[in-house]
Structure 1
Amino acid sequence: MEQVLPFYVVCDESYSMLDNIDALNDGLRELHTAVGSDPVVADKTRFGVIGFSDDAEILLELSDLSEVTQMQGLAVKGGTNYGAAFKLLRQTIDGDVAKLKQDGCRVYRPVAFFLSDGQPNYDWKTDYDALIDPTWKARPNIVAFGFGDVDHATIADIGTFKSFVADNSISPGAALHEFAGALTKSIVQSGTNMKDGEVNLQVPDEVPGFTQLKAEEL
């Protein structure tokens, strides 16, 4: 039975990303090349992209990157609606997991890399709570990245596995390139180390230009 670990990248496309969107797109194209050209990793992982601003949309349906000829780029739009992103992510995961299982795949808990550079303009808590609902078997492990004007506490709350914020040691464009590099490493290492019935999610503890946030004890 084919084993599949789904990865999603959920990226802010709000207007504040104007100066940095090209660097992020370059990083995603490099990810496509690295993962798509590795038959072992491409066979065991799937990758999808969701962009959000005032609303959210699927930019790349969950795919085997070896079969994707070109990555659709992110494009700068309007505001910052976290809730729309979380709602669409849950709906997308539901549909993707059902399809993969129908195709006879053994599906592992999805991983979502969330990236934002600003404050949300809309309420998002309800949709986020639905996304991480412990009674929902397919709830994703979330790795959150923030830079620019993000609130550190918000990014820490969103990440269920790890959370990072830019530390301004490098330019925002370079930091976004490192974000894409960390995502690539996570996919490659996690896919490479998958064994029958066992998956260990691999996410770097250190990402150049970012500081890992520690979860607060309640």
Structure 2
Amino acid sequence: MQILPFYMVCDESGSMAGGGVDAINKALPELHQEISTNPSVADKTRFALIGFSTQASVLQPLADLSELTQLPSLTAGGVTSFGSAFRLLKNTIERDVADLKADGHDVYRPVVFFLSDGIPTDEGWRADLKELNSFRYAPKIIAFGIDDAERATITEVANFKAFIQQDDSISPAMAIREFASSLTRSIVSSATSMAAQGGEGFELQVEEQIPGFTSLSLDKL
């Protein structure tokens, strides 16, 4: 089979307590319902959920959503270690792709939807991001910043597209719901594109405009 892995990587630091994690936890069942009940999408995609704060953890290992009854919830606490997320993501992707290939699947480059509401508290995160971006299964990263996240940091994390919450246009909770909806639409649209191409290549579908967010340029000198 042709498989496209998606990773949802969410900030679980203390600043996400209350509205932040609540919004994610409310959005996850909708994402699960939309993907799991669409066989042509579920067959071609795999989904994993990673949370990070002081440490990062795989909350939901990469799976066919049609085989799950529900997705786990996030909890908030701790500081914002970007490096822990990037290290875990690299190791997880490397293992997941190897497992999929061992099962005989053709695997497309993984896609990461990264969400944070703050500023990284660890100094070495850039080195960890560089490692993630330079290994053989380096993912395409779409980064979203909400609340106190800095434009420059979110732009640096992304290597495909970046979005920042528009000032006061919507609440952080509403921004998170739009983030989850964008991820869901991207999974559905990308899998549909894959089916249309008969497995012979496809185009990753990520929206140019997302309600409540401003698209950031990734051009760097």
What is the TM-score when the length of structure 1 is the normalising length?
0.97
Partner of 2:213: 210
Q: Which string of whole-angstrom CA distances, capped at 9 and with x for unpartnered residues, describes residues 105-152 of structure 1? A: 00000000000000111120111000001xx22100000000111111
Partner of 1:185: 185
Partner of 1:6: 5
**C-alpha distance in structure 1 between counterparts of 2:161 and 2:115, whole Å:** 12
**What 5-or-longer segments of structure 1 have no aligned partner?**
none
**C-alpha distance in structure 1 between counterparts of 2:12 and 2:155, whole Å:** 20
Partner of 2:79: 79
1:104-183 to structure 2, matched below 5 A, reads 104-123=104-123, 124-133=125-134, 136-167=135-166, 168-183=168-183
Higher mean alpha-carbon deviation, 191-200 vs 5-14, is at 191-200
Displacement after TM superposition at 1:26 (Å): 1.2
Displacement after TM superposition at 1:215 (Å): 1.9
Partner of 1:198: 201
Matched residue SS, 2:43: helix
Displacement after TM superposition at 1:36 (Å): 0.6
Contact 2:6 2:48 in 1 (8 A): yes
Matched residue SS, 1:127: helix
Matched residue SS, 1:132: helix
Displacement after TM superposition at 1:199 (Å): 2.1
Displacement after TM superposition at 1:204 (Å): 0.6
Matched residue SS, 1:212: strand
**C-alpha distance in structure 2 between counterparts of 1:217 and 1:21, whole Å:** 32
**C-alpha distance in structure 1 between counterparts of 2:44 and 2:37, whole Å:** 13
Matched residue SS, 1:118: coil
Displacement after TM superposition at 1:217 (Å): 3.9
Matched residue SS, 2:115: strand
User: 4+ runs of 1 displaced by more than 6 Å?
Assistant: none
Matched residue SS, 1:51: strand
Displacement after TM superposition at 1:65 (Å): 0.3
Q: Which string of whole-angstrom CA distances, capped at 9 and with x for unpartnered residues, describes residues 25-51 of structure 1? A: 111211000001100000000000000
**C-alpha distance in structure 2 between counterparts of 1:91 and 1:197, whole Å:** 28
> RMSD between aligned alpha carbons?
0.8
Q: Does 1:22 align with 2:39?
A: no
**What 5-or-longer segments of structure 2 have no aligned partner?**
none
